[in-house]
Amino acid sequence: MARLLAAAAAPGDPTPARATFWRSLQTLNATRIVIALVLLLYLRFDGGGLRVAGHHLYLWTCLTYLALAIAFALTAVYGQRRFLVQLLVQIACDLAIISLLYADGGGLRSGLAILYLFPLAGAAILAPLVLALFCTALVALFMLGMGVIQVLEMEGEHILLQSGLYGAAYFAAVLCLNRMAARLIGQEELAIRRGVEIGVQQAVNRLVMADVADGVLVVDAGGHILASNPAAQQMLGLSAADHADGDGDDHRDRDGDLAAVQSPLALAYAEWRADPALDTAFITLKPYFSIRLKARFAAVDLGQVPQAGDDTGETCASLARSVIFLQQVSEIEERAQQLKLASMGRLTASIAHEVRNPLSAIGHASALLAEDIDDPGQRRLLRIVDDNVKRVNRIVEDILQLSRKSHVQYEPLALDSFLVELREEFIDTEGVPPDVIAVSVAPGTTVHFNPLHLREVIANLVGNALRYASGAPASIRLDLVRQPNWLELHVQDDGPGISGEVRAHLFEPFYTTSSKGTGLGLYLAREMCLNNDARLDYEYRFDSHGTSDSPAADRRSGGRFVITFAPPQK
């Protein structure tokens, strides 16, 4: 308390502690004015209990006290200098005037002894303990002196005892008030220190978030964006003016929702909320279809945050926060692909000579043996050899194709007739029922794509869909979606969606979950799309079927492959 009083008494700019003390002194002055007015009313309604000559001394004392109270109040507002000096002068005037009224009113019989609590309480709260006890001792000695005089004048038998009890009560009240005030002041000092530390930490956090290359989003359980750094604003196309730092709930209406900003990110966030194990997702943002992001989700631990109220669970739910870290992986993937292609280029030459020639010899030898062998068991073994030769040869062809990334002279292609012909080919060669594959493309739709490359891409996607689709009518759909500045071809089926773990490696070469696959199909499909200035991505989504009264029960997770075609050339 002494340290804060020293700060309050020092001249210069007011500190938070000094401002608190000045506000308390102003409250004390307002109370003093009220007491002076009450004393004047006491004179107006008193029935003769005061022993004053014509009440003139009492009247002028109260008027003087009121004038001093007003002067003290104005000084505390407009002359905030030397706090301790002003406090002691005011307490001394209070004690002097109350003592004058107490003595003129007949001591304890006047009932004015209770007024001493006002200045003594002010001293206990705003002054050091030694000064407060000194003022209390002066009051106790004055009351005992008045009691001795009254006893000598034979005006009462128990006046000394009552005066002593009043003095003891004053000491007890001053000690209690001073200790409580010291504790409150200590709490205020701690709060000020913690506030400074929090302000410094917030400044550091703002600096780190502003300079970090990765995007950072803070969202609540409902997907409301509460805070974001400049990198995230740039990635998501948010307005920097609408994303000033704040404390949370005030930003819900200003920052918007994930669903309104980027629906792929909102779907990935909803999936993580449903299954916290899926804490990483790869998404492609539209309309910036060339930007591919890696999103990592983390929940804020609220274990050390104190909760208020009886509904602790509900309070925790309302305070739940999650942090989304966004990393742009388009350039990283491109560099990784370039390194892989460079390695493949060095490897293909040796593969062509060291693998294909022995494969040709093995295939030719198995064909010659098949002409001379009639035993069914041996012919079955030859078929196994022939099938594996073809499989290895197909792997070699795929590997060789990785190094053939060159500029493609694509041409306008009528997409509707192209997809219909490809659908008929699947019906004839794969034995697919005619109603399984549904094509929805407006007539006359034209895209710029190499026909051979587009055939391989769609054949790969439809072939994968055939392995997981139910086989029901329209279980595999090819839908053309028109966006403001580009076209999208959606290839989707009614099978289960791809898990988050598999989606993270979906387009990596040689990654496969099938024992018969090479892991190059989707990688080659994406490379062909890139060669034609297009983009191939997998989008996770929820489908609403409307088969239940519960909306949550109607939402089934799934996914689709999206080919984003290059915009028309001008």
Q: Are residues 415 and 393 in the same domain?
A: no
420 and 286 together in one domain:
no
pLDDT given at position 312: 47
pLDDT of residue 245: 43
- Say yes or no: 384 and 471 in one domain: no
State whether 347 and 478 are in the same domain: no
What interhelical angle do 16-45 and 56-78 show, nearest 10? 160
Of 353, 379, 402, the domain-final residue? 402
Tell me which of 168, 195, 222 is where a domain ends. Answer: 195
What's residue 122's pLDDT?
85
Is there a cis peptide before residue 433, judged by omega within 30 degrees of 0?
no
Residue 458 lies in a domain: yes
One domain for residues 120 and 189: yes
d(CA 154, CA 98): 24
The number of CA neighbours under 13 Å toward the Cβ of 331 is 2
Burial class (CB within 10 angstroms; exposed 0-12, middle 13-18, buried 19+) of 442: exposed
Output DSSP code: residue 414: E
Number of structural domains the chain divides into: 4
Q: What are phi and psi of 284, to 5 degrees?
A: -120, 130
Question: Which stretch of DSSP H or E encloses residue 522?
Answer: helix 521-531
* Residues 454 and 511 grouped into a single domain: yes
Which residue shows structure tokens 């999208």?
488
Please choose, from the candidates 529, 539, 520, the residue with its C-alpha nearest in 3D space to the C-alpha of residue 565. 529
Q: Which residues contact 456 (CB under 8 A, 6 or more apart)?
A: 524, 525, 528
Q: Are residues 350 and 432 in the same domain?
A: no
Do 247 and 277 reside in the same domain of the chain? yes
What pLDDT sits at residue 293?
79
Residue 272 in any domain: the answer is: yes
In angstroms, the Cα distances linking 84 to 6, 10, 420, 542 are 8, 9, 94, 70
Whether 360 maps to a domain, the answer reads yes
Dist. CA 54–CA 157, nearest whole Å: 28
Q: Is residue 366 part of a domain?
A: yes
Question: Could you give phi then psi for residue 236, rounded to 5 degrees?
Answer: -95, -5
Q: Domain for residue 174, yes or no?
A: yes
Helix-helix angle 56-78:83-104, to 10 degrees: 170
Alpha helices in 403-492 (DSSP H): 415-430, 451-468
CATH number of the CATH domain containing 462: 3.30.565.10
Q: How many beta carbons lie within 10 A of that of residue 421, not counting itself?
A: 11
Cβ–Cβ < 8 Å for 343, 232: no
pLDDT along the chain (570 residues), means of 10: 45 50 84 85 60 63 86 84 86 87 78 85 86 88 84 74 86 89 84 86 78 82 81 73 44 53 74 80 63 81 57 57 81 68 64 72 80 79 80 69 58 85 83 84 85 86 85 87 83 80 73 67 82 81 44 53 74
Asked whether the whole model's pTM tops 0.85, one would answer no
C-beta of residue 204 within 8 angstroms of C-beta of residue 197: no
State the Cα–Cα distance between residues 521 and 456, nearest whole angstrom: 9
Task: Report the alpha-carbon distance of residue 6 to residue 159 in Å, rounded.
Answer: 41
Query: What is the per-residue pLDDT for 409?
Result: 62
- Please report, for the domain that includes residue 292, its CATH number: 3.30.450.20
**Does residue 342 sit within a domain?**
yes
pLDDT of residue 10: 39
Q: In this structure, what token pair is assigned to residue 396? A: 């070699």
> Which segments within 433-548 are labelled E, that is strand?
437-440, 446-449, 476-482, 487-493, 535-544
Q: Does residue 524 form part of some domain?
A: yes
Question: Do 40 and 65 share a domain, yes or no?
Answer: yes
Same domain, 10 and 97: yes
Domain that holds residue 241: 213-302+315-328
Q: Do residues 339 and 370 both lie within one domain? A: yes
Residues 167 and 250 in one domain: no
In a domain, 206, yes or no: no
Q: Strand 476-482 to strand 437-440: parallel, antiparallel, or no bridges (unpaired)?
A: parallel
